[in-house]
């Protein structure tokens, strides 16, 4: 029995795949938002060399018609005095086409927005997009829109501090019932990282050394090095 990974449909609702000569079972597993209507949930097929098998269809329909816009915010590493990239990924996880949306992003005030892809309008630490497009239900096309934002990180003085960025997607369609409003908002928190040499110590002496067990202390009063004295 041959095996093949999970498939998704193209924009036209069709799916295709290539396999070796073997016996296969093609199955459709419905999402909870959809139901099967053709009384067919699987096909058993025998693939022979140089053959094409078609018209293996599954009938489905939504349990109810509702949209569900979702936004996901991710980022690259946050290194001090460097640039990092934020990505906004927007999807319609529902069963109804959503026409138009407002996308918004707030970056931490400690950082500076350098650029934003698409039609993003930058105002201080805020970016907004007006998206007059149709977001189709995920089951048909898995449609998604992705936007990238370049952000300048703060300097070494912010090492170890926390940065909080957040995003929101708001449908423009009137009377739209959103299945899950919780996924209309996304937030990430990151720590500012900096490179340093742990062996690079700067200390000072505040008095005389009298014993072999005397130590030097750094600015945080951490004993870091034992001194061996030559007594004359």
- Residue 208 confidence (pLDDT) above 70: no
Contacts of 159 (CB under 8 A, 6+ apart): 80, 192, 193, 194
Q: Give SS3 for 139.
A: helix
Other residues' Cβ atoms within 10 Å of the Cβ of residue 1: 7
11: confidence class by pLDDT, cuts 50, 70, 90: low
Q: Tell me how far apart the alpha carbons of residues 77 and 86 are, in angstroms, rounded to a whole number.
A: 10
Lowest mean pLDDT among 14-18, 22-26, 89-93, 97-101: 14-18
Q: What is the pLDDT of residue 229?
A: 44
Q: What is the mean pLDDT of residues 209-230?
A: 53
Structure-token pair, residue 144: 């998604």
> What are the tens digits of pLDDT across the range 139-163?
555 578 899 999 999 999 999 999 9
Q: Which of 175, 156, 169, 141 is nearest to 12 (CA)?
A: 141
User: What is the band of 121 on the pLDDT scale with cuts at 50, 70, 90?
Assistant: very high
- Report how far residue 31's alpha carbon sits from residue 193's, in angstroms, rounded to the nearest whole number: 41
pLDDT in tens, 37-90: 888 888 998 888 888 888 888 888 887 778 889 999 999 999 999 999 999 999
Q: Who has greater pLDDT, 40 or 116?
A: 116
Residue 136 structure tokens: 């189709």
Chain segment 159-203, per-residue pLDDT in tens = 999 999 999 999 888 878 788 889 999 999 999 999 765 555 555
Q: What is the mean pLDDT of residues 211-228?
A: 53
Looking at residue 200, its pLDDT comes to: 53
| All residues at 6 or more sequence positions from 55 whose CB lies less than 8 Å from its CB, including other chains | none
**Which DSSP category does 156 fall into?**
G
């Amino acid at each position: 029995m041959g095996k093949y990974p999970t498939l998704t449909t193209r924009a036209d609702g069709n799916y295709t795949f290539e396999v070796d000569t073997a016996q296969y079972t093609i199955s459709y597993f419905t999402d909870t938002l959809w139901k099967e209507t053709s009384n067919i949930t699987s096909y058993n097929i025998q693939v022979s060399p140089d053959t094409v098998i078609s018209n293996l269809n599954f009938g489905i329909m939504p349990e109810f018609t509702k949209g569900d816009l979702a936004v996901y915010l991710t980022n690259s590493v946050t290194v001090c005095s460097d640039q990092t990239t934020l990505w906004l990924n927007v999807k319609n996880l529902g069963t109804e086409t959503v026409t138009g949306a407002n996308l918004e992003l707030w970056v931490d005030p400690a950082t500076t927005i350098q650029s934003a892809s698409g039609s993003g309008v930058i105002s201080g630490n805020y970016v907004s997009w007006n998206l007059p497009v149709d977001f189709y239900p995920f089951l048909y096309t898995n449609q998604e829109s992705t936007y990238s934002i370049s952000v300048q990180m703060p300097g070494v003085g912010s090492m170890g501090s926390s940065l909080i960025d957040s995003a929101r997607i708001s449908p423009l369609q009137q009377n739209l019932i959103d299945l899950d409003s919780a996924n209309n908002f996304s937030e990430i928190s990151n720590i500012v990282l900096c490179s340093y040499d742990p062996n690079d110590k700067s200390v000072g002496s505040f008095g005389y050394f009298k014993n072999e067990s005397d130590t030097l202390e750094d600015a945080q009063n951490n004993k870091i090095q034992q001194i061996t004295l030559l007594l004359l």
